[in-house]
Chains A and B, each alone.
Chain A
Amino acid sequence: MRLEARDVHKCFRTRRGVTEALDGATFQVASGEFVCILGPSGCGKSTMLSIFAGLESPDSGQVLGDGSPLTRPGSDRVVIFQEAALFPWLNVLDNVAFGLQVAGMGRKERRERAIEYLRLVHLDRFQTAYIHELSGGMKQRAELARALAMEPKVLLMDEPFAALDAQTRDILHTELQDIWARTVKTILFVTHNVREALVLGDRVLLMTSRPGSIKREYEYQLPRPRAMEDHALVDAAREILGDLRVEVNKEREERYAQLAD
């Protein structure tokens, strides 16, 4: 599915006033492309993802999937959150089969499908485990299997590996690249980690600090599979990091200015 954001604006009203999260974000993601959105914390990148998911609606502008507006959640676009949103009252298998059950798929069929995807993320030995028995990395694998089992066209990933230790994250980077190559999904991946963005993405979109819009776009022809310590990747990261730092500083100055008021 081809994704497109057209001049998306979004504000949040809280008790302390109005916060502008997105200010005219515009970009496109080709079908089957792996794109990373990179930005300082609080720049509205997660909000952008929620809007594509149909969980939030933009104040103005629109988001499109294959040319038609996306206004409601749909099982063709599944979100993977930073903290695993697996349900503790279901075991791993039933968690992975959850969306299929909602869609009304028969018991035998959905179990087979769930097992197939658990195998893909190397979790098929843990079908009957409960969620609190899994490690952080296993939870994110289960989450990935649950999303893939829906056989969506798009994966929307909201800093899914941010809470994991470095080794687990590296392994999951490799596996995700592998899964993407095999299943041909459009992936929109939000992160604040430059090298993670470069390892995973075909393209990297850098967002400005809040209110967020796309500041710059990077495209490097790095061979896959990539790893965080590859030389070419580290060089590329240095370039992006310079731009990112400007945004981070801007955000910090703004916060100090607010504190000084």
Chain B
Amino acid sequence: MRNWQISLLFFLGLLFVWEILYRLGLWPPYVFPSPSSVAHSLYKGLANGTYLLAVATSMRRILIGYGLSILIGVPLGLLLGRSRLVQTTLGPMVMGLQALPSICWLPLALLWFGLGERAILFVVVMGALLSITLSTADGVRNTPPLYLRAARTMGADGLSLYARVVLPAAFPSIVSGMKLGWSFAWRSLMAGELLYISLGLGQALAMGRELNNMSQVIAVMILIVLIGLTVDRLAFAPAERRVRERWGLQAAAP
């Protein structure tokens, strides 16, 4: 049997067990809904546009927030990896702040920006920024000295050395930082929306709880997993694989 066939069988089995448990009637439906009512909720929510609106809102937020993290994080990482002054001043702060779950910024963000878009964007940026910065800085610091020496004897120095050698040499690290940053950003966004912020998938989740609509809660959870997984599989995994192959970090697929 192929791997995907085994996976498929496993998940069908899981659905089957779920349905059996539901039919045994051990818990009331508002605590333990049936697979079909979850599927119905998913279908209804998508058909009447509520979930689509929620997905669109969350996606818009994450694209802006994550985009900002890359725009700030990569240059900051390049500085951090190259300049001893920045490394000894900002370095410990960046390391320290990474230990802080980004949702802890929400109270502060609410006071600074009020209950709205800018607060949630701030939390998303704080979630993704630091891991992107640290990975970029790591990549820069680990540039093989041999590459730098070779480039210098061929006349590259200063900015040209940076753009043509340091940045491409750090690229695999930057990509893994971006991948990590994406999953942090997605988690931060969900946490933020769940707590306070209107619209979005997190809000749909909170709404499900308030209405005692467990089918909706599970349907939205499934959507959140699917989006997270899709982006990882379709965008990051292939990018990372190609970079690793090209940089010779692993053997190319046979």
Contact = CB atoms under 8 A, between A and B. Distances in A.
A54 B152 CA distance: 9
B152 A131 contact: no
Contacts of B156: 99, 102
Given A81-B146, A87-B168, A89-B168, A130 B153 contact: no
Interface stretch (A9-17, A58-66, A69-77, A252-260): A69-77
Nearest to A91: B246
A73 B246 contact: no
A73 B168 contact: no
Contacts of B165: 87
A197 to B, nearest CB: 23
Q: How large is the interface on A (under 10, 10 to 19, 20 to 34, 35 or more residues)?
A: 20 to 34
A48 B240 CA distance: 41
Contact of B155 (A74, A131, A132): A74
A102 B154 contact: yes
Nearest to B248: A132
Interface in A66-97: 73-75, 77-79, 81, 83, 85, 87-89
A98 interface: yes
Interface string B158-169: 001000110011
B147 interface: yes
Interface in B129-168: 144, 146-147, 149-157, 160, 164-165, 168
Contacts of B157: 73
B248 A79 contact: no
B147 A79 contact: no
Nearest to B150: A85
B246 A55 contact: no
Nearest to B144: A85
Given A85-B146, A87-B147, A98 B153 contact: no
Contacts of A98: 151, 154, 164
B22 interface: no
A150 B154 contact: yes
B-side interface mostly: helix
Contacts of B169: 87, 89
B247 interface: yes
A102 B155 contact: yes
B149 A79 contact: yes
B32 interface: no
A53 interface: yes
A101 B160 CA distance: 10
A103 interface: yes
A156 B149 CA distance: 13
A159 to B, nearest CB: 13
A89 B165 CA distance: 9
Given A88-B247, A88-B248, A89-B168, A55 B154 contact: no
Nearest to A103: B155
B171 interface: yes
A75 B155 contact: yes
Nearest to B155: A75
Nearest to A85: B150
B154 A75 contact: yes
Contacts of A85: 144, 146-147, 149-150
22 contacts: A53-B153, A54-B153, A73-B152, A73-B155, A75-B155, A78-B153, A78-B154, A85-B147, A85-B150, A87-B165, A87-B168, A87-B169, A88-B246, A88-B248, A89-B168, A98-B151, A99-B154, A130-B248, A131-B248, A132-B245, A132-B246, A146-B154
Given A53-B153, A73-B155, A81-B149, 8 more contacts: A50-B149, A55-B152, A78-B154, A79-B149, A102-B154, A102-B156, A150-B154, A150-B155
Q: Which 8 A-B residue pairings sit nearest by Cβ, starting from the closest?
A: A132-B248, A99-B154, A85-B150, A75-B155, A89-B168, A79-B153, A73-B152, A85-B146
